Amino acid sequence: MEDSDKLWSDRIPPDILGSIASRLVVGEYFVFRVVCKQWRLAPLMPPSHRPRRLHDDLQLPYLMTLHEKTGIVEFFDPVYNVVTTHNPGSNLKTDSLFSMRNGCMVGKPKGFAGGIAVGEDLRLCRDCWTFSVGEKEGDWRKKDGAAAWRRGWPSPSIAALFAGGGREGRGWPSEQQLDSPGVKAGGVYGGEGRGDGEECSPEIATW
Amino acid sequence: MVKLKSNDDKEFEVEEAAVIQSEMIKNMIEDGCATSVIPLPNIDSKTLIKVIEYLNKHINMGKAAETGEEDDLKEFDEQFVNMGWEELFDVIMAANYLNIHELMELCCQSAADRLKNKSVRAVREMLKITNDLTEEEEQEIINDAPWAFEGPEIDDTVN
């Protein structure tokens, strides 16, 4: 084909590119966007436009970005690469939880530096995705980690953001804890260096 | 049987049960618009053969789940997408045109799998893409997540 060098840039329909991009996770998606203009502009497929699949019944992860200065929060769904932005405005509590949306809890643990809560250490842990925060390579383990996932997607019934030690095997709540009666939508757990699932006493704003 | 004609004038006979996995052809048949030979002006014979191979294999997908042949189907799918980027492009475009949902899923997933951990340079070379971003545009994205562009897992090979 004489113009085979344009197949994947100019001739590929944007929605197909978007469908491919939506299957990448975090880091790969950043690489994807640097490839060329078409790829950068590819529309991402929101989950609702995609067929329900088996893994949709698992807890899905959300990564949270907190822009400390503006108080704007971004939820990043690493499965579908969808970012939604929310501005909780004056309800922002800088050292604890501040909002809840669609059953998804957002919290900000004490000592968390803010900024992008997307780490390179995205790994599967107890049937749920967890992630850690790190400003540069090598130091994420010293930072607080945070994990959020939603249960019962796409009709979320309970979700919580957990914060705690970034070390593997420590600080992550077990399924049992999640299912225990004491855990409810609206509960928030975390805090610097604790990561033991202990409940904070945050204020909750709903929007 | 349904006859399909590629854009290079080759005709292929396919069982109706197989061909109706294409929403487009299914609608044509249901609406009574299917002529004795269905012309597919966007698909060449090489690609159409691949698509038909897929349709024939997936004809009894529901049954496969019951009879435990899912592994067989999975293996077939893995083999099926073992093709070059240009061929994959052709099959994706054909699946898109014919509206074969499962085949689209399979091919898009394969494309995504191949991009995993690849460096930007490797992706451009593999897919013969010319970079048309300005240095500023490129840097802007890299600055958002510098960690995504470095590290031992980044694969710069073009396989």
Measured CA distances, B122 to A35, A115, B126, B128, B129 (Å): 10, 30, 6, 10, 10
Side chain identity at residue A197, one-letter code: G
Which DSSP string do the residues of A69-95 spell out, in sequence order? TTTEEEEEETTTTEEEEE--GGG--TT
Q: Which CATH superfamily is domain B2-115 in?
A: Potassium Channel Kv1.1; Chain A (3.30.710.10)
- pLDDT (tens digit per residue) in B71-102: 788 889 999 999 999 999 999 999 999 999 99
In a domain, A196, yes or no: no
| Contacts B129 to A, Cβ<8 Å | 5, 8-9, 35-36, 39
- Residue A138: count other Cβ atoms within 10 Å of its Cβ: 8
pLDDT value for B81: 95
Q: Taking the domains of chain B in order of start, what are their residue ranges? A: 2-115, 120-149
Instruction: Enter the pTM of the model.
Output: 0.59
Percentage of chain B exceeding pLDDT 70: 94
Give tens-digit pLDDT for B122-131. 999 999 999 9
Grade residue B154 by pLDDT with cuts at 50, 70 and 90.
confident
Q: What is the pLDDT of residue A110?
A: 33
* Same domain, residue pair A96 and A39: no
Closest approach of B16 to chain A, Cα-based (Å)? 25
How many structural domains compose chain A? 2
Same domain, A23 and A121: no
CB contact under 8 A, A30 and B144: yes
Q: Would you call A139 exposed, middle or buried from its count of C-beta atoms within 10 A (0-12, 13-18, 19+)?
A: exposed
Q: Does residue A185 lie within any of the structural domains? A: no
Same domain membership, residue A154 and residue A105: yes
Owning domain of residue A73: 54-179
Same-domain status, A11 and A108: no
A129 and A164 co-located in one domain: yes
Domain shared by A95 and A128, yes or no: yes
Determine the residue of chain B that is closest to A135 in CA distance.
B147
**How many CA atoms are closer than 13 Å to the CA of B158, on its beta-carbon side?**
12
Q: Are residues A65 and A151 in the same domain?
A: yes
- Encode pLDDT of A51-96 as tens digits: 333 333 333 445 555 555 565 656 555 555 566 665 544 333 333 3
A31 and B133 within 8 Å at the Cβ level: the answer is no
Tell me what pLDDT residue B140 has: 87
Question: What phi and psi, each to the nearest 5 degrees, are found at residue B147?
Answer: -65, -20
Same domain, A39 and A61: no
Q: Which of A74-78, A102-106, B75-79, B153-157 has the lowest mean pLDDT?
A: A102-106
Q: What are phi and psi of A159, to 5 degrees?
A: -155, 150
Q: Are strands B37-39 and B2-5 parallel, antiparallel or unpaired?
A: parallel
One domain, residues A118 and A164: yes
> Residue B103: its pLDDT value, please?
95
Q: What pLDDT shows up at residue B152?
A: 77
Q: How many contacts does A have with B, using Cβ atoms within 8 A? A: 106
Across the interface, whether the CB atoms of B120 and A31 are under 8 A apart is answered yes
- Is the pLDDT confidence value at A150 over 50? no
pLDDT digit string, tens, across residues A179-197: 333 333 333 332 222 233 3
* Residue of A3, A33, A83 to mutate for B, most B C-beta atoms under 10 A: A33
Higher pLDDT, A205 or B110: B110
CB A81 within 8 A of CB A21: yes
ipTM: 0.90
Tell me the torsion sign for CA atoms A193, A65, B116, A137. Answer: negative
CB contacts of B111 in chain A (<8 Å) are 20
Find the CB nearest B148 among A7, A27, A35: A27
Same structural domain, A32 and A106: no
Residue A126 domain-assigned (yes or no): yes
Is A194 inside a domain boundary?
Answer: no
**Pair A13, A76 in one domain:** no
**Partners of A147 in the beta sheet?**
A162
pLDDT in tens, A4-58: 668 998 899 998 998 888 777 667 888 898 999 999 888 766 443 333 333 333 3
A82 and A124 in a single domain? The answer is yes
Q: Are A34 and B142 an interchain contact pair (Cβ–Cβ within 8 Å)?
A: yes
Residue B53 forms contact with A (CB below 8 Å): no
In a domain, A206, yes or no: no
